[in-house]
Structures are given as structure tokens and as C-alpha cells.
């Protein structure tokens, strides 16, 4: 059986804008490795409502609970609403990417989905047409 990557809903979105920034060197290295695997192998991802395989090396991961849980859960819920997926769904990475493009890009929903995220100034500059 092939590997399944755990992913919080909003990380499907953040991953499309990742340019090597992050909370620590370890976080960046891990996120780079996870995205490399997902993008090259189109692995199955399982939608989770807790810390995922990107959070695993984050200094804000407090034993499986994000230090900013109240804020990130809002991003998660907004993304789930746009994707039409639910917690526990298992889908191919490329299908999740397609949802990001068709539901969030096509309808220009980045500002409303990402409200108050501290990385917003970086993601807003990204040329979404390249996705
Ligand atoms: S602004 Fe924040 S939540 Fe939105 S895509 Fe960027 S990192 Fe993710
Ligand atoms: S800030 Fe929270 S949601 Fe984001 S990667 Fe770190 S632990 Fe995960």
C-alpha cells in the first residue's frame, strides 16, 4: 500500500505558495520534503483536523495541537467549504490542487480564506496564474 500523507485543509492552499519560508530550518526542510514527495508521486492525502505531516516539524506544534489553533481552524474550515471535502476524506494530491485552483483561484477567494494570516503578504504577491 502506498504512503498516505496527513494534511490539514489549509495546507493544501499554503503548499501552492511555498517558496522556502517557514517557522524554522527544520520546518522548511520537512515541508520541502513532503511537497517534493506529493508533487512527484501524486500521493494520496488524508484530510485531518489536527496537526499533520507539515506540522510535524513546526515549533508551534504543541504535542499535536497548533499553538494558533483558533486561527488556523478558521482557515481550515473556509478551505473545506471551498473544496467540498470533509475531515477523513482520502484524495489524490493533484485532485486537492485542482480544487485550490478551481475554487479559490478562479473565484479570487484568497483574501477571505486567508484572513489575518501572518504570511499573507508573501502569498498575495504570488502569481496565482502559475498554479
Ligand atoms: S496567506 Fe497564510 S493561510 Fe493563506 S495560503 Fe498563505 S500561508 Fe496559507
Ligand atoms: S503554525 Fe500550526 S498549523 Fe501551521 S504548520 Fe505550525 S503547527 Fe501546523
Mean pLDDT, 10 residues at a time, the chain of 131 residues: 92 93 97 97 97 98 95 95 97 97 88 88 71 55
* Amino acid 106: pLDDT: 82
Rg (CA), the chain: 14
* Amino acid 129: pLDDT: 57
86 lies in which domain range?
A: 4-130
> Is 9:85 a contact under the CB 8 Å cutoff?
yes
121: left (phi over 0), alpha (psi -120 to 50) or beta: alpha
* Amino acid 105: pLDDT: 81
Pocket test for ligand 1, best of 7, 9, 10, 71 (most atoms within 8 A of CB): 10
- Residue with the smallest CA separation from ligand 1 atom 5 is 14
* Amino acid 7: pLDDT: 98
Q: Give residue ranges with CB within 6 A of ligand 1.
A: 10, 13-14, 17, 75, 114, 117, 119-120, 123
Query: Which residues have a Cβ under 8 Å from the Cβ of 75 and sit 6 or more positions away?
Result: 9, 10, 13, 113, 114, 117
- Give burial (CB, 10 Å; 0-12/13-18/19+) of 8: buried
CB atoms within 10 A of CB 3: 10
Nearest to 9 by CA among 111, 108, 114: 114
Domain count, the chain: 1
* Amino acid 50: pLDDT: 95
In angstroms, the CA 22 to CA 29 distance is 9
Amino acid at each position: 500500500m502506498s504512503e498516505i500523507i496527513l494534511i490539514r485543509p489549509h495546507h493544501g492552499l499554503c503548499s501552492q505558495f511555498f517558496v522556502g519560508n517557514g517557522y524554522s530550518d527544520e520546518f522548511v526542510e520537512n515541508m520541502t520534503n513532503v511537497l517534493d514527495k506529493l508533487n512527484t508521486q501524486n500521493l494520496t492525502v488524508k484530510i485531518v483536523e489536527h496537526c499533520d505531516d507539515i506540522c510535524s516539524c513546526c515549533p508551534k506544534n504543541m504535542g499535536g495541537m497548533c499553538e494558533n489553533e483558533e486561527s488556523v481552524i478558521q482557515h481550515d474550515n473556509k478551505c473545506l467549504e471551498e473544496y467540498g471535502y470533509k475531515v477523513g476524506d482520502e484524495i489524490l494530491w493533484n485532485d486537492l490542487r485542482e480544487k485550490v485552483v478551481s475554487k479559490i483561484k478562479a473565484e479570487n477567494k484568497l483574501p477571505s480564506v486567508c484572513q489575518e494570516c501572518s504570511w499573507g503578504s508573501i502569498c498575495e504577491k504570488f502569481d496565482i496564474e502559475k498554479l
